[in-house]
Amino acid sequence: MKSKKGIKNILIVTAMVLASLFFINMSLAANTAKVTVETANLRETPDENSKILEQLSLNKEVEIVEKEGDWYKVTVDNITGYLRQDLIAVTEEVNTTQDENNITSTQEEQNVDNADAESQENEQTEDEIELGKNIIEQNVKLRIVPVINATETIEVKKDEEVNVTEIINGWVCVEAQNTKGWIRKENILTKAEQEKQEQERLAQEAAAKQAEEQAKAAANASKTMYVKEATVNVRKEANTSSEIVTSLQMNTAVVVETEDAGWSKVKVNGVSGYIATNLLSSTKQETSRSASVRKSTDTQVQEQTTANESATSSGNGAAVVAKAKSFIGSKYVYGGSSPSTGFDCSGFTSYIYKQFGVSLNRTAAGQYSNGTAVSRANLQPGDLVMFGKSGINHVAIYAGGGMIVHAANSSRGVTTDTINSGYYNNNYVGARRIF
């Protein structure tokens, strides 16, 4: 009997020890969880309307104290409070069976892997956005804190330049219009996207330039034209103030060697010079008694149609053009806005007008809101002209005679081009008068 009672006592003690170990193991299994949303509010009590103790970021780890309905009581950074269960992923659960433990552990590992992958994706995207000057991709309002339902302040516009000061958990802190606020990273053009857009624009421009040159070469093949006015002046250079080489009568045949910016280089009777293209015709003119008694046309008046912008331009506009032309040959650098660093298109126009005490918006699209609108027919030297296939992506300074001065691209730098043909003719958007 004593032997049986001893065995019984041993079994009871053994059971008590095993039970103790089981509960000790449960108590030592510290439950932890990670925040699965961008911002989770840690509250004082398990109530949506209770005081917010702290705002926790994505993947922030917390220690679970206990579960109360749809809420977890947690501790984080020496603060104890409550989180809704749908805002966190538990990384270790105490269950009644080993099988449930294994299933939960596997699910938690998958959640952690997914969270890590999302975190890495965010980090990679954030790495692409650099601190400093960046461009807004679409109209968006700034928020006072990096939370979706935060109070909104000012709106920043598409293509507006902002200063990025901080990047965290998919949010970007920017400074714009003397105001600081937060926007989602998707609203910022990454450096790669900016470079891609610039490369596309340059490729389009190069293709258009090539087509323009081919068309010009075809058009410039020598051809015979006829003077269509009573008297036309042949000038030494392609402008109305140049020296007159000779004068020709109506229906005089001339050989046109080249055409550019409204002027034709011609050869007649061994003499070369320039005639305004609108004074020539591919066919001879019919003559009549009325035509023979008509006074000779003052061709300088006719030629003035080609250069009417110069006659009406303001002194400031002419000075702007002169200043812009003084930088012809300067290098093109994306984001540049000074002679020492080089220029991009809007950096060049901003710099030129700054020399005259005028502050322009930094981007080509932004400058379309500066000054006042002006029609293409009424362009004057000094006006800003904008171009683009879908939206505005290039700006230049109108120089008169259908010509522009601009920072073209990395291979050509600051140079001149015509807007009467090719890329700039086909992709003309509009113009603004600053003076």
Quote the tokens at residue 138: 């679409």
Q: How far does Cα 348 stand from its chain's mean position? A: 16
For residue 46, count CB atoms less than 10 angstroms from its CB and return exposed for 0-12, middle for 13-18, buried for 19 or more.
middle
Which amino acid is residue 141, in one-letter code?
K
Q: Which of 34, 394, 412, 432 is catalytic?
A: 394
Residues found in the chain: 435
The DSSP bridge partners found for residue 141 are: 155
Q: Which of 129, 142, 174, 345 is catalytic?
A: 345
Q: Which residue has the tokens 């299994």?
A: 29
For 250-344, strand residue ranges (E) read: 253-260, 263-268, 271-276, 280-281, 337-338, 342-343
Say how many C-beta atoms besides its own lie within 10 A of residue 27's C-beta: 9
For 214-351, strand residue ranges (E) read: 223-227, 231-235, 244-249, 253-260, 263-268, 271-276, 280-281, 337-338, 342-343
Say how many C-beta atoms besides its own lie within 10 A of residue 376's C-beta: 12
Residues 430, 372 contacting (CB under 8 angstroms): no
Q: At 284, phi and psi to the nearest 5?
A: -70, 150
CB within 8 Å of 94: residues ≥ 6 apart: 26, 29, 31, 101
3-state secondary structure of 361: coil
Does 394 qualify as catalytic in the annotation?
yes
Residues 431, 350 contacting (CB under 8 angstroms): no
Q: Let me know the angle formed at the C-alpha of 208 by 206 and 209, rounded to the nearest 5 degrees.
A: 60
How far apart are the C-alpha atoms of 42 and 103, rounded to whole Å? 28
Q: Which of 201, 406, 412, 432 is catalytic?
A: 406
Say how many C-beta atoms besides its own lie within 10 A of residue 213's C-beta: 12
Residues 40, 83 contacting (CB under 8 angstroms): yes
Does 345 qualify as catalytic in the annotation?
yes
Does 427 qualify as catalytic in the annotation?
no
Compute CA distances 28 → 25, 31, 112, whole Å.
5, 9, 22
Which residues are catalytic, by number? Answer: 345, 394, 406
